[in-house]
Structure 1
């Protein structure tokens, strides 16, 4: 799907302001993933998997630093501008664990989810590297991070086969289902936001002018100047 949208991705990344904001957003996602992986390393009872999780967490934190540094460097060279459309649902970064609760997941489920996430991220980062003809430094950054993504994708698949040899297919299927559901929720939120913006815009340009026109017509029917009031009744009785 991302390959079919390659011209759109090129348009998204060609804008330097948007590129900087997306890199900073990627940094936040990578840092969140690093913290989740550190928690997973703390919880697992498998010593080999603990070492791999810790290395993965260190890689994620390093990626966060690289993305953040590059995003800030771009912003420092650019004039200030009001933020526009980032199109994060079209060109996202790495999803990481995507709000998956590490504490309640089994090793197989966690590894399957990580494997699919890293595989998707590797594909997207490779595409971003291709479309970044306008920025050699950011392109080199994605190429550097892709090397780590390949390792993450490989070790998660091997450890899934080692720890869950009989259920690995089911674990991968369930992880795909969860990712599809979360993708649907993100798309629904983006669509709802777009519809809400369209409705508010229509109200501003259609409904408000109509009320203004009615108010003006009502004002034109009123006579100019002061209006004589009715005389007050005599207060001869309280009834």
Structure 2
């Protein structure tokens, strides 16, 4: 469902921009607000440029590759069924991403922020490649790492920190006048669809793991009873840290 929603929203925004629809007028208004705010707060510009660099391929993709290698190794070490599926899905979406972005950029050929004439080189600004690269790379890395996060703090960083980081990158790309707001918004919609693929791959692996556990429980009823919490009073200990 989320995959289809992301595709639908991305297609709708692409149609609006390519046909100069009503949302383009709102895009101009939001861009002017960013320009005024950035001009009045120049102290933030240097920091904003650093956030923009997080969308560079040479920065974002190695982060994802590290997460792919780590979680793939962990899954294989634990002999999890279909351990390779989530890492493979992450590699697939990061490979598909530049193809989609390039095709749409060439087809729409949107002018640079604040301009009405396309770039003579044919370069288009819609959607934002930096936004999409950072969102897919860091988002997929977070999805891969989340099941292996051993502490509440680590899970909090992944669940809350990743969306904040992705928002910051997109926000700063508009702040620095690299992209229109709709360029960034469309890339987030595309990201929603692609990350759904990674999440689905993880769900398939989880079901395979659960299926194996169920088979083992059926083969060893005694172990299954203990796993289900069917224990005797003698198995329960106090809260001193012992099992129970």
- Would the TM-score normalized by the shorter structure come out above 0.5? no
Higher relative contact order (CA 8 A, sep 6+): 2
**Could you state the TM-score of these two structures normalised by the residue count of structure 1?**
0.33
